[in-house]
Structure 1
């Protein structure tokens, strides 16, 4: 059965530090957490829909991403972080400014402030995938990039099972580049819409006054 928007994204609970290895089912995977808008992208034949974390329709504000989704030519549901790069870093203010435009204004700002979707999960290809463990969904997602189906403005979210690498991503220098911290996922976890079953650890530059996503 095809997934129909809006759906609740799977969420993360805040922890002060990286959890122990057995904290989540199957062992741990670590992903960079970009500073952007959580977004789910639905593509169907001749139709694309970009959904916010709260279920709002972001498609009119990001026609460049909608056009890229239509060009894929196949059904997909992707989960990721919507970002805008400015001056060599992820710029949340520029993203907010883009989100306010509609119609001709939205099309005009795509030239100077193109949007990207940093993708960290695939929930549907030719079939619904949310019941599969994370490791299998991640492998399928990596295949979409390796096969050249997903290219710019889509970017594969960096992920690792190496705790030392994840610890490095918590360095404040990553915060200056627009990386808020690390999201920790269980390799055996299915995708559970609306459940706060992942873990999020903020880097020391972004650990105060931030919303969970």
Structure 2
């Protein structure tokens, strides 16, 4: 299997697809993470391809119980009581290794698994249909238990809609729909509805110093460049790691004259879709 692993994504839709062959899963609010269990270690990869094992050592330790050759796709999440805490996830992802170890003790992570990409005996299973991969995932995780757990899944759209309406208070973002017959492949092969819809935007620059950016300048899907609202401390720390690694940028300006420093490299962030209409964007996470 190639590394980094290119992940499947979901296309935003207004309503869930219906009909025979569709399956539905609740969308957990966390950080997309692929677990790779090789011969000697377990490593964790972010959606971008970065290795993020040091931020999630509690999950890496738990993943050592998997058989070598297992690769799972899912979401790193943190529960506070009966609710998902995305702020705690952001803090963990941006923490130093020492701080991440401390946070793992006080706010341990869980892993919401939704797909099996490689099986210890069958090898790469991405070409197999979703329903078959789902059963293999259950077989792999069933002996282990928390913190590695499969997400719920149903082929009943009414159950999925009940999840959508009833689980929002627990931090469930929405519902992802998948064809039961579909293989796993990179790109937007699934569909999703969310309570707060977001879009991906390319980072083209930043304001403030690279080590502590105040805001990001993003290129929106329609081509406009816009300065984001002020970043939270956790988001600023995550963005800074990318910006400093990419090297120095050059002075530049947006179409309306706002100054910023250009950002080399390919950093992608998620922004609230409802904030982009007048080119005022709110960054919700770094990809």
TM over 0.5: yes
Question: Structure 1: how far apart are the matches of 2:26 and 2:55?
Answer: 25
Partner of 1:187: 180
Alignment of 1:81-160 (within 5 A): 81-126=75-120, 127-146=123-142, 148=143, 150-160=144-154
Q: CA deviation at 1:164?
A: 0.8
Alignment of 1:19-30 (within 5 A): 19-21=17-19, 27-30=21-24
Number of corresponding residues? 201
Partner of 2:212: none
Q: Deviations over 1:152-202 (max 9, x none)?
A: 11011010001110111221x422211011000000000012x21100011
Q: CA deviation at 1:4?
A: 3.5
Q: CA deviation at 1:103?
A: 2.5
Higher relative contact order (CA 8 A, sep 6+): 1
1:42 pairs with one of 36, 42, 52: 36
- TM-score using structure 1 length: 0.88
Segments of structure 1 that go 5 or more residues without pairing to the other structure are none
Partner of 1:201: 193
* Cα RMSD, aligned residues only: 1.9
Question: Structure 2: how far apart are the matches of 1:170 and 1:207?
Answer: 14
| 3-state SS of 1:135 partner | helix
CA contact (8 A) 2:26 2:164 kept: no
Question: Structure 2: how far apart are the matches of 1:122 and 1:176?
Answer: 28
CA contact (8 A) 2:130 2:183 kept: yes
| 3-state SS of 1:164 partner | helix
- TM-score using structure 2 length: 0.66
Question: Structure 2: how far apart are the matches of 1:33 and 1:158?
Answer: 10
| 3-state SS of 1:185 partner | strand
Q: CA deviation at 1:73?
A: 4.2
Q: CA deviation at 1:72?
A: 2.6
| 3-state SS of 1:160 partner | coil
Question: Structure 1: how far apart are the matches of 2:172 and 2:58?
Answer: 23
User: Could you say if the C-alpha distance between residues 136 and 73 of structure 1 is closer, same or farther in structure 2, counting changes exceeding 3 Å?
Assistant: closer
Q: State yes or no: 1:32 paired with 2:26.
A: yes
Highest Rg: 1 or 2?
2
